[in-house]
Amino acid sequence: MEQVNRDFLLELLHTPSPSSNEMEIQKKWIKYVETFADEIRTDNAGNAIGVLNPNAPFKVLLAGHCDEIALVINRIDDNGFLHFDKMGGINPKAAVGMKTTVLGNYKTITGVIGVNAQHHGGLKDDFGLEDLFIDCGWKSKEEAEKYVQIGDLSVYKTDPEILMDRYVSGRGLDNRTGSFIVAEVLKRLSEEGCNVGVYAASTVNEETNMGGAYFAAAGIEPTMAIACDVTFATDYPGVNKNKHGDVKLEKGPVLAKGAPINIKINKLLEKTARKCNINVQYELTPRMTGTDADKMRLTGKGVPVSLVSLPLRYMHSPVETASLKDMDEEIELLVKMIAGLSGEESLNPLED
């Protein structure tokens, strides 16, 4: 991965983007993409979309969501401690003892998630978010309310790290890596050329309701759509591979197989992977994918979809970890597949 691409990835990962408050990261994404896109579009959901060949009748939508899981303040107690609920799939055990960045309505401030000392009994075995709180150093509710209000959001205060010049680790790789990947695919296609319209969407709200994907696909009416998300790597201690499958970092992007997935799109991806000597892995999505693909598929008259995922360790924790090599290979796979489209392809599985 070239340094300019890595710098863009790290800039995205540094930027707080809790679901429902993605404006700052979207502005940075647009600033990067507008230098090579033919057109930039936005919509009332908050999606940012870079377009190549906007007049082409065959339209490919690539969706990578930019939102991350977060904490949402639901109560300020008399002593100034902040109590919170989850905005997306927060794991209470991962939150214990973390620093947080509170995105206050009036000011951004640092807090810590307090924990009862083990000497005093520690946390109960079945604790939940309702047992945790954020301490920002305030002495009273009145003091706290000078900075925050109910509904303000908070994310873990962590910086992304490059591990052994091989992996990247941090919070919110799910799925700001996807937002990064769709931008880089568009950049490469702007240089190499293609016969079809390409719509790279940095979508919002996936972690909470997938509304961004619906708005994007409903507005674009694509011929086909590919969700670029993450999936569970199972190559670290303690994971039951018999139950959760065998997915490894540095073994290539992951294709989904199941009822929601268009077989002909997958065949195009597999053919491209063989031609480019890119290894692919597989995951099963029998009923639903749990990604933007589910919402895009059910817009308009129906959209053929596929899902290409980045293997990710430690999902929904402050130290999610992925491979830079896998990102490069996913970008290459998508670029070469889309560049090879004539615009005359049928995605009907009953047609040859």
Strands 254-257 and 281-284, bridge-based pairing: parallel
The position carrying tokens 């303690």 is 238
DSSP state of 68: B
Respond yes or no: is residue 206 known to be catalytic: yes
User: CB–CB of 299/247 below 8 Å?
Assistant: no
Exposed/middle/buried for 162, CB within 10 Å: 0-12, 13-18, 19+?
Answer: middle
Options 68, 184, 206, 283, the catalytic residue: 206
Range list of β-strands (E), the chain: 39-42, 48-52, 59-65, 70-76, 82-87, 99-103, 108-113, 134-135, 153-156, 161-163, 167-170, 197-203, 224-232, 254-257, 281-284, 305-312, 320-323
In degrees rounded to 5, what are phi and psi of residue 6? -65, -40
Please give the positions annotated as active site. 206
